Amino acid sequence: MSLSLALCFDAPMQSWGARSQHIHRDTAREPTKSGVVGVLAAAMGVPREDTEKITALAELSLGVRVDREGLVERDFHTAQNVPNTEGLGHRTVISHRYYLSDAVFLVVLEAEGADQEALLRRAEAGLRAPAWPLYFGRKAFVPARPLLHASEPADRRDHPSGWGLSDLPLRTVLMTHPWLEADDSPHRLDGRPRGEDAPRPLRAVIDCDATDERAEIRSDHPLSFARGDRRFASRSFKTLDIPLTPAMISPGDRSCS
C-alpha cells in the first residue's frame, strides 16, 4: 500500500534555484526538492530552524511531471548597501535573477511506512489550511490556482488542480493524473486536429537510486534551512517521458469536442 500526494504548481512566475551562488540566482526547469519541502513546511507551519521536521519532509520521494514547460526569464536586479563577507565595504551589486514564466507542474510526493504516511497526511491538511503564505521560490510568486482539489478527484471540471492524497504509487500517479493544462488553453490545441499523430510526451523527473545509469545529481536535498546554516545533500533523479494519453487529456466521461 502506498500513499501519494499530487499537487498542482501553477503560477505566472516560479523560481527554483538549484545551484545559485552569489549574484547569479539561477532557476531549474522544474521544482527542486528543497523548494517543494519549503512549500510543505510553510503550509504546516514548520519554522526553518526545526531541522528535524525539515529532514523528515525531505525523506519523502518526489516526482515532478512538467505539464507545461516554462520560459526562462532574467530580472535585472540591483541591491544597495551589500556588505562583503567581513561585513564591510558596502556597495551596490547587480545580480542576475532567473525565473520560469508560465510553467505548470504536477508535483507528487510518496510516503513509505506508517511514519511517512502520517507526515504526508499532516502535510495535506496543512496545504488545505496553510499556516503561512505559500509561494513558489520567491515571495511575490504566488500560486495561480489551488494546489489541491477542493472536492473529489473525479470532478475536475470546474477547477483542475492536483488530486491530493491517493492510495497509488508515485509512478502510477505520474502516468495517470489528468493533464493540468486547462481545456481552453492555447497550449493545449497546438493547431493539431485531434486524432492526428500522438502528442509529444510530458517530461518527468523522479527520485531514483544513485546507482541508476540514468541518474543525474542535483544538490537540493535539504538538511537544514536554519539561518546561517543552510545545508543540502545531493539527490539523484532521472528524467522520464510520460505518454500523454487521451485518458489524461479528456478524463472521466467527457466526450471529445
Partner 1 sequence: MFLSRLTVDVTSRNFRLDYADVHQMHRTVMSAFPDLDAKRTARAHCGALWRLDEHERGFVLLVQSRLEPKWAALPAGYLTAPPDVRSLDPFLRLIAPGRKISFRLVANPTRAIHPPGSVPGTRGRGRPVPQRLPAKQVEWLARKGEQHGFVLPVGRDGQADVAPAPRPGLRGRSDGNTITIEPVRFDGHLVPTDVEALRAAVLAGIGRAKAYGCGLISLGPAREAG
CB of 179 to partner 1, least distance (A): 11
Q: β-strands 231-242, 91-111: how paired?
A: unpaired
If one counts every other C-beta atom within 10 angstroms of the C-beta of residue 29, the result is 16
**What angle, rounded to 10 degrees, do the helices at 113-128 and 33-44 form?**
70
State how far the Cα of 153 lies from the Cα of 136, in Å rounded to an integer: 24
Sign of the torsion formed by the C-alpha atoms of 38, 43, 44 and 47: positive
Q: Which is nearer to partner 1, 192 or 227 (CB)?
A: 192
66 makes contact with partner 1 (CB under 8 A): yes
Which of 22, 52, 71, 92 touches partner 1 (CB under 8 A)? 71
Interacting span for partner 1 (CB under 8 A) from 1-9, 68-76, 221-229, 247-255: 68-76
Is 148 among the residues that bind partner 1 (CB under 8 A)? no
Contacts of 238 (CB under 8 A, 6+ apart): 205, 206, 208, 212, 214, 215, 216
Closer to partner 1 at the Cβ: 49 or 216?
216
**Residue closest to 27 by CA, chosen among 134, 101, 79, 133:** 101
User: Does residue 3 bind partner 1 (CB under 8 A)?
Assistant: no
Using alpha carbons, select from 174, 187, 184 the residue that is nearest to residue 245.
Answer: 174
Check residue 12 for interaction with partner 1 (CB under 8 A): no
Q: Is 191 in the site for partner 1 (CB under 8 A)?
A: yes
Whichever of 71 and 114 has its CB closer to partner 1, that residue is 71
Stretch that binds partner 1, among 52-60, 80-88, 162-170, 185-193 (CB under 8 A): 185-193
Q: Which residues bind partner 1 (CB under 8 A)?
A: 24, 26, 29, 66, 68-69, 71-72, 74, 96, 98, 102, 185-192, 199-200, 203, 214, 216, 239
